Structures are given as structure tokens and as C-alpha cells.
Chain A
């Protein structure tokens, strides 16, 4: 159902901040608390904010179900592709060949406390991004489906 203008404006205002914070949680998953699942859930919270403030027909114009389904499938395929790349590079599924090798996400890390660099951890940030995309798509699709099953009443 359509909420008041105050709720709608606040939801619009907070939606980009939710996305940016979720992206931060996903990208820094190997340095700070967080990771793909948590960051994806935060991003889906932004979508939920939009969903509760508007009518279902209005929301599907900007938040398309097919796009979110595509996000979900692409995330899972990215995960499997990263695993298969490890199979071809190092001989094991999900082999972390990028860690400590230089190049993309390849800086080695010394043991013990350190300030942490973003360009570390090899395969882990890629898997974090893949899982983040998948969780964002999956939770948003679940919310859209559930909202499509609710009969809407206008006050």
C-alpha cells in the first residue's frame, strides 16, 4: 500500500546509503566483520525499505523482478566459475591461487596484527562479491514474491 509522503521521501533518501553501506561490507569482507551474506542482506534491506513504502505496481517499475532473478543467477554462476578457475589453475576446486601471488588481490599478509590492505586475500573478495550479488537478488526476489501474494487494501 502507499504510505505517506514523509515515509516515501525518507525511504528514497536512505536507499542509496543502504546500498553503499552494503557494498562497503561486501568489499571489506576480508578485513573487517562482514562478508558477502551480511552485505547482501544490508543491500536487500534497502530494497525492503522501498517495498514497504510504496504500492506493488509502482515498485515493480523501478525494481524489476527479472533483474533481481538475473542478479541471483549471475552471483551463483560467478561463484562456480571462480571455483572452476581454481580447478584449472591449481588442481583443486576453489583453490586460492591468487593469494600472495601479486597482481589482483595478491599482496601477501604478515602474521599478527596489521592495519590491513584492500588488495589482499586472493579469491576471497571475488567470492564475497559473487555471494553479495546473489544474496541481494535472492532476498529481494523473495520479498517481491511475498508482496505479490498479499492482497492490497487502500485506506
Chain B
């Protein structure tokens, strides 16, 4: 049982990270902290993708001077690369929104910016 738990450790980390991210999104009222939660969720998904493509005793899928040909799966790593770049783009967008909201309302608390004032 304990061996099984230790072997599943990356997925446990993913579960804990997802929980923390959801908690930050649900309980925090500060926009910047909510964005940190979103970033955490993105990291959890990246870790999940990399961990699900791991093959026991595999090496990185690069053939330059490689000692063996048993390699981990390359497709999930490519998907992770895509996810990281898109995460950077969306993070930049959301942080810019937060900056503009702070300029307009003078606060980043979501309770105070909920009202529509034109």
C-alpha cells in the first residue's frame, strides 16, 4: 500500500496542487491572488502531462549521444511546451487586465469592482 502510494506520488502532487488552486480561486477576493491560483492550476496540468508520459527508466527523447533507446513519451512533452507558451500569453493578458482594473477602480478586490459604473 505504501509502495503504491509512493509510486503514485506525482499524481498526488497534481491533486494537491489542483486543490490549492481551486481553493485560491474560490476563497480569495484579491485579483492577483486569483491569478496566482490560475497559474498554479496550469502548473498542475503541466506536471500531470509530463508525469503521465513517464516510462520506467526512460531517458529524455533526444538522440544526441544518448546511452540507451528506451525513452519517455515525446508527445506529452510537446503538448506541455504548447501549454506553457499559451499560459504565458494568457497570464500576460490577465495581469494587464488587473493593472487596468486597478487604474480604473483603485482596487483589485473583486467585491468592490463588481458594480457597473460606466
B81 neighbours in A (Cβ, 8 Å): 35, 37
A21→B64 CA distance, assembly (Å):
19
Knowing A37-B81, A37-B85, the reply to whether A116 touches B96 (Cβ < 8 A) is no
**Total chain B interface residues with beta-carbon distance under 8 A:** 18
Q: Does B63 contact A (CB under 8 A)?
A: yes
Q: Does B66 contact A (CB under 8 A)?
A: yes
Our pick among A109, A115, A149 for the contact of B99 (Cβ within 8 Å) is A149
Beta-carbon contact of A112 and B62 below 8 Å: no
Beta-carbon contact of A113 and B96 below 8 Å: no
Q: Chain B: which residue is nearest A139 at the CB level?
A: B88
A41 neighbours in B (Cβ, 8 Å): 88
Q: Does A142 contact B (CB under 8 A)?
A: yes
Beta-carbon contact of B92 and A114 below 8 Å: no
Knowing A149-B99, A149-B103, the reply to whether A116 touches B64 (Cβ < 8 A) is yes
Beta-carbon contact of B103 and A113 below 8 Å: no
Our pick among B60, B69, B95 for the contact of A112 (Cβ within 8 Å) is B69
Residues of A bordering B, CB below 8 Å: 31-33, 35, 37, 41, 109, 112-116, 135, 139, 142, 145-146, 149-150
